[in-house]
A and B are shown apart, each in its own frame.
Chain A
Amino acid sequence: MPLVSIIDYKVGNIFSMENALKKVGFRVEVNSESDKILQSDAVVLPGVGNFRVASQKLAPLKIVLNDYVHSGRLLLGSCLGMQLLFQNSEEGVGEGLNLIEGCVKKFNSNVKTPHMGWNNIKIENYNELLDGLSENSYFYFVHSYYPLLKNGDDVAASTIYGEKFASIVSKNNIHGCQFHPEKSGKTGLRLLENFARMTRK
Protein backbone atom coordinates (compact mmCIF):
# COMPACT_ATOMS: atom_id res chain seq x y z
CA MET A 1 0.00 0.00 0.00
CA PRO A 2 1.48 3.39 -0.96
CA LEU A 3 2.23 5.79 1.88
CA VAL A 4 0.75 9.29 1.76
CA SER A 5 1.80 12.03 4.18
CA ILE A 6 -0.72 14.70 5.09
CA ILE A 7 1.13 17.85 6.12
CA ASP A 8 -0.40 19.11 9.36
CA TYR A 9 -0.59 22.88 9.99
CA LYS A 10 -2.52 22.26 13.22
CA VAL A 11 -5.52 24.40 12.32
CA GLY A 12 -8.27 22.64 10.43
CA ASN A 13 -10.07 19.35 10.19
CA ILE A 14 -7.87 16.68 8.59
CA PHE A 15 -10.05 13.84 9.88
CA SER A 16 -12.06 13.67 6.65
CA MET A 17 -8.99 13.87 4.39
CA GLU A 18 -7.38 11.03 6.35
CA ASN A 19 -10.56 9.01 6.09
CA ALA A 20 -10.97 9.57 2.34
CA LEU A 21 -7.32 8.76 1.52
CA LYS A 22 -7.64 5.49 3.46
CA LYS A 23 -10.78 4.67 1.47
CA VAL A 24 -8.92 4.98 -1.85
CA GLY A 25 -6.15 2.63 -0.74
CA PHE A 26 -3.42 4.71 0.90
CA ARG A 27 -1.56 4.08 4.12
CA VAL A 28 -1.95 7.51 5.75
CA GLU A 29 0.40 9.36 8.09
CA VAL A 30 0.01 12.88 9.39
CA ASN A 31 3.50 14.34 9.25
CA SER A 32 5.53 17.45 9.64
CA GLU A 33 8.97 15.81 9.86
CA SER A 34 11.41 16.01 6.94
CA ASP A 35 12.59 12.39 6.83
CA LYS A 36 9.03 11.06 6.97
CA ILE A 37 7.99 13.35 4.11
CA LEU A 38 10.94 12.19 1.99
CA GLN A 39 9.95 8.55 2.55
CA SER A 40 6.39 9.08 1.31
CA ASP A 41 4.99 7.92 -2.02
CA ALA A 42 2.64 10.92 -2.15
CA VAL A 43 2.13 14.15 -0.19
CA VAL A 44 -1.10 16.02 0.47
CA LEU A 45 -1.33 19.63 1.61
CA PRO A 46 -4.82 19.85 3.14
CA GLY A 47 -7.17 22.85 3.23
CA VAL A 48 -8.68 25.20 5.82
CA GLY A 49 -6.90 28.03 7.54
CA ASN A 50 -5.26 31.32 6.74
CA PHE A 51 -2.52 31.77 4.09
CA ARG A 52 -0.24 33.85 6.32
CA VAL A 53 -0.42 31.41 9.27
CA ALA A 54 -0.07 28.33 7.07
CA SER A 55 2.88 29.75 5.11
CA GLN A 56 4.66 30.40 8.44
CA LYS A 57 4.06 26.80 9.56
CA LEU A 58 5.20 25.56 6.17
CA ALA A 59 8.37 27.68 6.03
CA PRO A 60 10.64 25.15 7.80
CA LEU A 61 9.46 22.44 5.37
CA LYS A 62 9.99 24.44 2.20
CA ILE A 63 13.36 22.89 1.33
CA VAL A 64 12.25 19.35 2.02
CA LEU A 65 9.03 19.80 0.02
CA ASN A 66 11.10 21.16 -2.86
CA ASP A 67 13.43 18.15 -2.69
CA TYR A 68 10.41 15.87 -2.53
CA VAL A 69 8.82 17.45 -5.61
CA HIS A 70 12.07 17.27 -7.58
CA SER A 71 12.16 13.54 -6.98
CA GLY A 72 9.13 13.38 -9.30
CA ARG A 73 6.66 12.00 -6.74
CA LEU A 74 3.11 13.34 -6.53
CA LEU A 75 1.96 16.34 -4.53
CA LEU A 76 -1.71 17.33 -4.15
CA GLY A 77 -2.84 20.55 -2.50
CA SER A 78 -6.47 21.04 -1.57
CA CYS A 79 -8.16 24.43 -0.92
CA LEU A 80 -5.64 26.47 1.11
CA GLY A 81 -3.15 23.67 0.37
CA MET A 82 -3.61 24.44 -3.33
CA GLN A 83 -3.12 28.17 -2.79
CA LEU A 84 0.18 27.43 -1.03
CA LEU A 85 1.54 26.05 -4.32
CA PHE A 86 1.76 29.65 -5.55
CA GLN A 87 4.09 32.45 -4.57
CA ASN A 88 1.83 34.81 -2.66
CA SER A 89 -1.74 35.65 -1.72
CA GLU A 90 -3.83 38.74 -1.18
CA GLU A 91 -4.99 37.10 2.07
CA GLY A 92 -1.80 37.99 3.88
CA VAL A 93 1.93 38.40 3.75
CA GLY A 94 4.01 35.26 3.52
CA GLU A 95 5.56 33.12 0.83
CA GLY A 96 3.97 30.06 -0.65
CA LEU A 97 5.94 27.20 -2.17
CA ASN A 98 6.15 28.90 -5.58
CA LEU A 99 5.85 25.57 -7.41
CA ILE A 100 3.36 26.85 -9.99
CA GLU A 101 3.57 30.38 -11.42
CA GLY A 102 0.74 32.62 -10.31
CA CYS A 103 -0.79 34.38 -7.34
CA VAL A 104 -3.88 34.13 -5.14
CA LYS A 105 -6.60 36.80 -5.46
CA LYS A 106 -9.69 37.74 -3.47
CA PHE A 107 -13.12 37.37 -5.07
CA ASN A 108 -14.52 40.76 -5.94
CA SER A 109 -17.28 42.15 -3.81
CA ASN A 110 -20.24 41.55 -6.13
CA VAL A 111 -20.46 37.89 -5.05
CA LYS A 112 -21.17 36.45 -1.58
CA THR A 113 -17.95 35.31 0.07
CA PRO A 114 -16.92 32.74 1.00
CA HIS A 115 -17.86 30.89 -2.19
CA MET A 116 -19.46 28.08 -0.23
CA GLY A 117 -21.28 25.08 -1.61
CA TRP A 118 -21.32 22.71 -4.58
CA ASN A 119 -20.16 23.92 -7.97
CA ASN A 120 -19.21 22.17 -11.21
CA ILE A 121 -16.02 22.21 -13.27
CA LYS A 122 -15.09 22.62 -16.91
CA ILE A 123 -12.12 20.62 -18.14
CA GLU A 124 -9.51 22.91 -19.72
CA ASN A 125 -6.44 20.65 -20.05
CA TYR A 126 -7.05 16.97 -19.45
CA ASN A 127 -4.68 14.84 -17.40
CA GLU A 128 -5.09 11.54 -15.58
CA LEU A 129 -6.27 13.22 -12.37
CA LEU A 130 -9.47 14.14 -14.24
CA ASP A 131 -10.22 10.60 -15.41
CA GLY A 132 -13.97 9.95 -15.27
CA LEU A 133 -14.83 13.56 -14.42
CA SER A 134 -16.89 15.87 -16.62
CA GLU A 135 -18.80 19.15 -16.66
CA ASN A 136 -21.47 17.43 -14.61
CA SER A 137 -19.03 16.75 -11.79
CA TYR A 138 -19.86 18.81 -8.70
CA PHE A 139 -17.39 19.52 -5.91
CA TYR A 140 -17.67 21.21 -2.52
CA PHE A 141 -15.97 24.63 -2.29
CA VAL A 142 -15.33 26.89 0.72
CA HIS A 143 -13.01 29.81 -0.08
CA SER A 144 -12.77 33.57 -0.44
CA TYR A 145 -9.58 33.60 -2.52
CA TYR A 146 -8.74 31.89 -5.81
CA PRO A 147 -5.57 31.25 -7.83
CA LEU A 148 -4.73 33.30 -10.90
CA LEU A 149 -2.23 31.39 -13.02
CA LYS A 150 0.43 32.81 -15.30
CA ASN A 151 0.30 29.90 -17.75
CA GLY A 152 -3.06 28.73 -19.04
CA ASP A 153 -1.56 25.29 -19.66
CA ASP A 154 -1.34 24.71 -15.91
CA VAL A 155 -5.12 25.10 -15.57
CA ALA A 156 -6.59 21.58 -15.66
CA ALA A 157 -10.18 22.66 -14.91
CA SER A 158 -12.07 25.88 -14.28
CA THR A 159 -15.18 26.90 -12.34
CA ILE A 160 -17.40 29.95 -12.56
CA TYR A 161 -18.32 31.99 -9.50
CA GLY A 162 -18.91 35.58 -10.55
CA GLU A 163 -15.83 35.08 -12.69
CA LYS A 164 -13.98 32.07 -14.08
CA PHE A 165 -11.14 30.75 -11.94
CA ALA A 166 -8.80 27.73 -11.93
CA SER A 167 -10.39 25.02 -9.78
CA ILE A 168 -7.89 22.25 -10.62
CA VAL A 169 -4.26 23.01 -11.46
CA SER A 170 -1.68 20.52 -12.69
CA LYS A 171 1.96 20.95 -13.59
CA ASN A 172 3.84 17.68 -14.11
CA ASN A 173 3.72 15.91 -10.72
CA ILE A 174 2.26 18.91 -8.88
CA HIS A 175 -1.53 19.11 -8.56
CA GLY A 176 -4.01 21.22 -6.68
CA CYS A 177 -7.75 21.56 -6.35
CA GLN A 178 -9.55 24.58 -4.92
CA PHE A 179 -12.42 22.42 -3.60
CA HIS A 180 -12.42 19.74 -0.90
CA PRO A 181 -12.33 16.33 -2.63
CA GLU A 182 -12.75 14.62 0.75
CA LYS A 183 -16.10 16.43 1.16
CA SER A 184 -17.33 16.03 -2.40
CA GLY A 185 -19.13 12.70 -2.30
CA LYS A 186 -18.47 10.14 -5.02
CA THR A 187 -16.95 12.67 -7.46
CA GLY A 188 -14.37 13.73 -4.87
CA LEU A 189 -13.50 10.13 -4.14
CA ARG A 190 -13.07 9.56 -7.89
CA LEU A 191 -10.44 12.31 -8.05
CA LEU A 192 -8.63 10.84 -5.03
CA GLU A 193 -8.80 7.35 -6.59
CA ASN A 194 -7.16 8.79 -9.70
CA PHE A 195 -4.49 10.31 -7.46
CA ALA A 196 -3.93 6.93 -5.78
CA ARG A 197 -3.68 5.15 -9.11
CA MET A 198 -1.17 7.72 -10.42
CA THR A 199 0.88 7.21 -7.23
CA ARG A 200 1.09 3.46 -7.76
CA LYS A 201 2.43 3.85 -11.32
Chain B
Amino acid sequence: MLVKRIIPCLDVKNGRVVKGTHFQQLRDAGNPVELGKKYSEEGADELVFLDITASNEKRKTIVKLVKDVATELDIPFTVGGGINHVEDVREILLNGADKTSLNTAAIKNPELITEISARFGSQCVVIAIDAKRNYSSSKNKKFVQTLEGKCWFEVYIMGGQQPTGIDALSWANKAANLGAGEILLTSIDRDGTKKGFDIELTKAITGAINIPVIASGGAGESEHFLHVFTDAKADAALAASVFHYQNYPIPKIKQYLKEKGVNVRI
Protein backbone atom coordinates (compact mmCIF):
# COMPACT_ATOMS: atom_id res chain seq x y z
CA MET B 1 0.00 0.00 0.00
CA LEU B 2 1.07 3.54 -0.73
CA VAL B 3 2.20 5.18 2.50
CA LYS B 4 1.84 8.70 3.88
CA ARG B 5 5.09 10.62 3.53
CA ILE B 6 7.03 12.63 6.14
CA ILE B 7 9.18 15.31 4.53
CA PRO B 8 11.72 17.52 6.32
CA CYS B 9 12.30 20.89 4.69
CA LEU B 10 15.55 22.83 4.51
CA ASP B 11 15.00 26.57 4.00
CA VAL B 12 18.43 27.69 2.87
CA LYS B 13 19.78 31.24 3.05
CA ASN B 14 23.42 32.12 2.31
CA GLY B 15 24.42 28.47 2.50
CA ARG B 16 22.82 27.80 5.91
CA VAL B 17 19.54 26.21 6.94
CA VAL B 18 17.33 28.83 8.64
CA LYS B 19 13.81 28.84 10.02
CA GLY B 20 11.46 31.54 11.24
CA THR B 21 7.87 32.09 12.31
CA HIS B 22 5.21 33.35 9.85
CA PHE B 23 8.09 33.52 7.31
CA GLN B 24 9.98 36.06 9.51
CA GLN B 25 12.54 36.26 12.37
CA LEU B 26 14.84 33.71 10.77
CA ARG B 27 17.35 31.87 12.92
CA ASP B 28 20.16 29.48 12.08
CA ALA B 29 19.43 25.75 12.12
CA GLY B 30 22.59 24.20 10.72
CA ASN B 31 24.46 22.93 7.68
CA PRO B 32 22.26 21.71 4.79
CA VAL B 33 24.51 18.81 3.78
CA GLU B 34 24.72 17.48 7.35
CA LEU B 35 21.02 17.92 8.04
CA GLY B 36 20.01 16.35 4.71
CA LYS B 37 22.15 13.30 5.41
CA LYS B 38 20.83 12.99 8.96
CA TYR B 39 17.17 13.14 7.90
CA SER B 40 17.73 10.70 5.05
CA GLU B 41 19.32 8.21 7.45
CA GLU B 42 16.54 8.73 10.02
CA GLY B 43 13.89 7.58 7.56
CA ALA B 44 12.64 10.78 5.90
CA ASP B 45 10.57 9.84 2.84
CA GLU B 46 11.80 12.79 0.80
CA LEU B 47 13.78 15.97 1.31
CA VAL B 48 12.80 19.48 0.22
CA PHE B 49 15.42 22.21 -0.24
CA LEU B 50 14.12 25.76 -0.67
CA ASP B 51 16.62 28.46 -1.56
CA ILE B 52 15.17 31.56 0.07
CA THR B 53 18.06 33.82 -0.98
CA ALA B 54 17.13 33.17 -4.60
CA SER B 55 19.16 36.03 -6.02
CA ASN B 56 20.68 35.47 -9.41
CA GLU B 57 24.28 36.30 -8.60
CA LYS B 58 24.42 33.48 -6.06
CA ARG B 59 22.89 30.90 -8.42
CA LYS B 60 26.15 28.98 -8.96
CA THR B 61 26.74 28.61 -5.22
CA ILE B 62 23.25 27.22 -4.74
CA VAL B 63 23.64 24.70 -7.58
CA LYS B 64 26.88 23.46 -6.03
CA LEU B 65 25.17 23.14 -2.65
CA VAL B 66 22.27 21.21 -4.22
CA LYS B 67 24.79 18.77 -5.67
CA ASP B 68 26.56 18.36 -2.31
CA VAL B 69 23.25 17.61 -0.57
CA ALA B 70 22.08 15.26 -3.37
CA THR B 71 25.29 13.22 -3.11
CA GLU B 72 24.43 12.33 0.50
CA LEU B 73 20.83 11.30 -0.24
CA ASP B 74 19.19 8.08 -1.38
CA ILE B 75 15.64 9.44 -1.20
CA PRO B 76 13.72 11.77 -3.55
CA PHE B 77 14.92 15.36 -3.54
CA THR B 78 12.89 18.48 -4.39
CA VAL B 79 14.59 21.83 -4.95
CA GLY B 80 12.88 25.21 -5.14
CA GLY B 81 13.72 28.90 -5.16
CA GLY B 82 14.87 31.08 -8.01
CA ILE B 83 13.60 28.79 -10.79
CA ASN B 84 12.21 30.96 -13.59
CA HIS B 85 12.97 29.07 -16.80
CA VAL B 86 12.94 25.54 -18.18
CA GLU B 87 16.74 25.70 -18.35
CA ASP B 88 16.94 26.39 -14.58
CA VAL B 89 15.03 23.13 -14.06
CA ARG B 90 17.41 21.19 -16.28
CA GLU B 91 20.41 22.54 -14.38
CA ILE B 92 18.91 21.55 -11.02
CA LEU B 93 17.99 18.05 -12.29
CA LEU B 94 21.48 17.48 -13.67
CA ASN B 95 22.82 18.27 -10.21
CA GLY B 96 20.80 15.58 -8.47
CA ALA B 97 17.30 16.95 -7.85
CA ASP B 98 14.26 14.85 -8.84
CA LYS B 99 11.60 17.53 -8.66
CA THR B 100 11.49 21.30 -8.75
CA SER B 101 9.22 23.49 -6.72
CA LEU B 102 7.82 26.70 -8.22
CA ASN B 103 6.02 29.47 -6.40
CA THR B 104 6.15 33.15 -7.48
CA ALA B 105 7.42 32.26 -10.96
CA ALA B 106 4.39 30.04 -11.61
CA ILE B 107 1.91 32.74 -10.50
CA LYS B 108 3.59 35.27 -12.79
CA ASN B 109 3.90 32.84 -15.69
CA PRO B 110 1.52 29.86 -15.34
CA GLU B 111 2.57 28.54 -18.77
CA LEU B 112 5.90 27.61 -17.17
CA ILE B 113 4.10 24.71 -15.44
CA THR B 114 3.04 23.27 -18.79
CA GLU B 115 6.48 23.81 -20.34
CA ILE B 116 8.34 22.02 -17.55
CA SER B 117 5.81 19.25 -17.30
CA ALA B 118 5.89 18.61 -21.06
CA ARG B 119 9.67 18.42 -21.08
CA PHE B 120 10.46 16.57 -17.83
CA GLY B 121 7.11 15.05 -16.78
CA SER B 122 4.47 16.24 -14.34
CA GLN B 123 6.15 14.35 -11.47
CA CYS B 124 8.89 16.97 -11.74
CA VAL B 125 6.66 19.98 -11.08
CA VAL B 126 5.70 20.75 -7.50
CA ILE B 127 3.64 23.92 -7.16
CA ALA B 128 4.29 25.61 -3.83
CA ILE B 129 1.34 27.65 -2.59
CA ASP B 130 1.77 29.95 0.42
CA ALA B 131 -1.73 30.69 1.67
CA LYS B 132 -3.14 32.88 4.43
CA ARG B 133 -6.67 33.09 5.77
CA ASN B 134 -8.59 36.18 4.72
CA TYR B 135 -11.75 36.92 6.73
CA SER B 136 -12.79 40.03 4.79
CA SER B 137 -15.62 39.70 2.30
CA SER B 138 -14.65 39.41 -1.32
CA LYS B 139 -16.36 38.47 -4.54
CA ASN B 140 -15.83 35.19 -6.36
CA LYS B 141 -13.97 33.56 -3.52
CA LYS B 142 -14.73 30.17 -2.03
CA PHE B 143 -15.47 30.79 1.67
CA VAL B 144 -14.89 28.02 4.19
CA GLN B 145 -16.41 27.81 7.65
CA THR B 146 -13.68 27.52 10.33
CA LEU B 147 -13.71 27.70 14.13
CA GLU B 148 -12.49 31.28 13.83
CA GLY B 149 -15.19 32.30 11.35
CA LYS B 150 -15.76 32.25 7.61
CA CYS B 151 -12.68 32.87 5.50
CA TRP B 152 -11.12 32.27 2.14
CA PHE B 153 -7.50 31.32 1.52
CA GLU B 154 -5.39 33.93 -0.23
CA VAL B 155 -2.22 33.12 -2.17
CA TYR B 156 0.90 35.11 -1.20
CA ILE B 157 4.08 35.38 -3.27
CA MET B 158 7.61 36.72 -2.80
CA GLY B 159 8.29 34.53 0.23
CA GLY B 160 4.98 35.31 1.89
CA GLN B 161 5.42 39.09 1.61
CA GLN B 162 2.95 39.97 -1.14
CA PRO B 163 -0.78 39.17 -1.24
CA THR B 164 -2.12 38.40 -4.70
CA GLY B 165 -5.91 38.46 -4.28
CA ILE B 166 -5.93 34.95 -5.80
CA ASP B 167 -7.97 32.19 -4.16
CA ALA B 168 -5.71 29.23 -3.27
CA LEU B 169 -8.42 26.75 -4.27
CA SER B 170 -8.80 28.07 -7.77
CA TRP B 171 -5.02 28.40 -8.18
CA ALA B 172 -4.45 24.79 -7.05
CA ASN B 173 -7.06 23.65 -9.56
CA LYS B 174 -5.53 25.67 -12.36
CA ALA B 175 -2.00 24.46 -11.53
CA ALA B 176 -3.18 20.83 -11.59
CA ASN B 177 -4.84 21.35 -14.97
CA LEU B 178 -1.70 22.99 -16.37
CA GLY B 179 0.36 19.91 -15.50
CA ALA B 180 1.55 20.20 -11.90
CA GLY B 181 2.33 16.83 -10.32
CA GLU B 182 1.95 17.86 -6.69
CA ILE B 183 0.94 20.79 -4.51
CA LEU B 184 3.11 21.90 -1.60
CA LEU B 185 0.64 23.82 0.52
CA THR B 186 2.00 26.06 3.29
CA SER B 187 -0.15 27.90 5.81
CA ILE B 188 1.48 31.27 6.52
CA ASP B 189 -0.73 31.58 9.64
CA ARG B 190 0.72 28.38 11.08
CA ASP B 191 4.31 28.56 9.75
CA GLY B 192 6.80 28.04 12.58
CA THR B 193 4.11 28.20 15.30
CA LYS B 194 4.11 24.46 16.17
CA LYS B 195 0.33 24.77 16.78
CA GLY B 196 -0.58 22.16 14.19
CA PHE B 197 -1.36 22.22 10.48
CA ASP B 198 -4.23 24.33 9.14
CA ILE B 199 -6.67 21.43 8.76
CA GLU B 200 -9.42 23.51 7.09
CA LEU B 201 -7.03 24.87 4.49
CA THR B 202 -5.54 21.44 3.73
CA LYS B 203 -8.92 19.76 3.61
CA ALA B 204 -10.28 22.37 1.22
CA ILE B 205 -7.40 21.77 -1.20
CA THR B 206 -7.27 17.95 -0.99
CA GLY B 207 -11.02 17.90 -1.63
CA ALA B 208 -10.71 20.11 -4.70
CA ILE B 209 -7.91 18.47 -6.71
CA ASN B 210 -6.81 15.02 -7.78
CA ILE B 211 -3.03 15.32 -7.41
CA PRO B 212 -1.07 14.68 -4.19
CA VAL B 213 -1.01 17.45 -1.58
CA ILE B 214 1.90 18.02 0.80
CA ALA B 215 0.68 19.90 3.88
CA SER B 216 3.06 22.32 5.54
CA GLY B 217 3.21 24.89 8.31
CA GLY B 218 2.58 24.37 12.01
CA ALA B 219 3.80 20.85 12.82
CA GLY B 220 4.87 20.65 16.47
CA GLU B 221 4.12 17.12 17.64
CA SER B 222 3.16 13.64 16.40
CA GLU B 223 -0.56 14.27 16.85
CA HIS B 224 -0.49 17.10 14.31
CA PHE B 225 0.74 14.68 11.66
CA LEU B 226 -2.04 12.24 12.52
CA HIS B 227 -4.72 14.93 12.10
CA VAL B 228 -3.43 16.23 8.80
CA PHE B 229 -3.41 12.68 7.38
CA THR B 230 -6.72 11.44 8.77
CA ASP B 231 -8.85 14.62 8.96
CA ALA B 232 -7.42 16.64 6.07
CA LYS B 233 -6.48 13.70 3.80
CA ALA B 234 -3.00 15.06 3.03
CA ASP B 235 -0.73 12.70 1.07
CA ALA B 236 2.41 13.96 2.76
CA ALA B 237 3.34 16.29 5.60
CA LEU B 238 6.28 18.64 5.54
CA ALA B 239 7.93 20.21 8.57
CA ALA B 240 11.06 22.10 9.54
CA SER B 241 11.21 23.59 13.06
CA VAL B 242 10.03 20.40 14.74
CA PHE B 243 12.95 18.50 13.21
CA HIS B 244 15.63 21.23 13.37
CA TYR B 245 15.14 22.69 16.85
CA GLN B 246 13.23 20.19 18.93
CA ASN B 247 15.29 17.37 17.55
CA TYR B 248 12.03 15.48 17.23
CA PRO B 249 13.11 12.25 15.58
CA ILE B 250 11.29 11.08 12.45
CA PRO B 251 11.12 7.41 13.66
CA LYS B 252 9.21 8.56 16.77
CA ILE B 253 6.56 10.29 14.64
CA LYS B 254 6.28 7.31 12.30
CA GLN B 255 5.97 4.82 15.16
CA TYR B 256 3.13 6.90 16.63
CA LEU B 257 1.35 7.09 13.27
CA LYS B 258 1.71 3.35 12.76
CA GLU B 259 0.16 2.66 16.18
CA LYS B 260 -2.76 4.90 15.17
CA GLY B 261 -3.30 2.87 12.00
CA VAL B 262 -1.69 5.21 9.46
CA ASN B 263 0.37 3.49 6.76
CA VAL B 264 3.95 4.68 7.01
CA ARG B 265 7.31 3.35 5.88
CA ILE B 266 9.35 2.13 8.84
Contact = CB atoms under 8 A, between A and B. Distances in A.
Chain A contact residues (Cβ within 8 angstroms of B): what range? Answer: 20 to 34
Contacts of A15: 67, 70, 93-96
Given A48-B121, A140-B75, A116 B265 contact: no
A13 interface: yes
Nearest to A114: B123
A138 interface: yes
B3 A119 contact: yes
Interface string B1-36: 111010000000000000000000000000000000
Most interface-central of B2, B70, B123, B236 (chain A CB within 10 A): B2
B55 to A, nearest CB: 25
B235 interface: yes
A16 interface: yes
Interface string B58-73: 0000000001001101
Contacts of A115: 2
Nearest to A115: B2
Contact of A183 (B2, B98, B265): B98
B1 A120 contact: yes
A185 B3 contact: no
A198 B70 CA distance: 27
Contacts of B130: none
Interface string A5-26: 0000001110110011000000
Nearest to A111: B2
Nearest to B98: A13
B120 interface: yes
B123 A16 contact: no
A23 to B, nearest CB: 8
A49 B95 CA distance: 17
Contacts of A140: 75-76
A16 B45 contact: no
B74 interface: yes
A50 B1 CA distance: 25
Contacts of B70: 15-16, 19
A126 interface: no
Interface in B120-141: 120-123
A118 B74 contact: no
Chain B contact residues (Cβ within 8 angstroms of A): what range? Answer: 20 to 34
A133 interface: no
Nearest to A14: B94
Contacts of B75: 140, 183-185
A115 B182 CA distance: 11
A117 B210 contact: no
B92 to A, nearest CB: 9
Most interface-central of A12, A50, A117, A120 (chain B CB within 10 A): A117
Interface string A117-157: 11110000000000000000010101000000000000000
Contact of A16 (B2, B98, B211): B98
A160 interface: yes
Contacts of B123: 114, 116, 142
A135 to B, nearest CB: 11
Contact of B212 (A112, A120, A160, A189): A112
Contacts of B120: 11-12, 48
A114 B181 contact: yes
Contacts of B74: 16, 20, 182-186, 188-189
A120 B122 CA distance: 23
A57 to B, nearest CB: 15
A121 to B, nearest CB: 11
Contact of B45 (A118, A161, A186): A118
17 contacts: A11-B120, A12-B93, A12-B120, A13-B93, A13-B97, A15-B93, A15-B96, A16-B73, A16-B98, A114-B123, A116-B181, A116-B212, A118-B3, A118-B5, A185-B40, A185-B43, A186-B74
Interface of A: 11-13, 15-16, 19-20, 48-50, 112, 114-120, 138, 140, 142, 160-161, 180, 182-186, 188-189
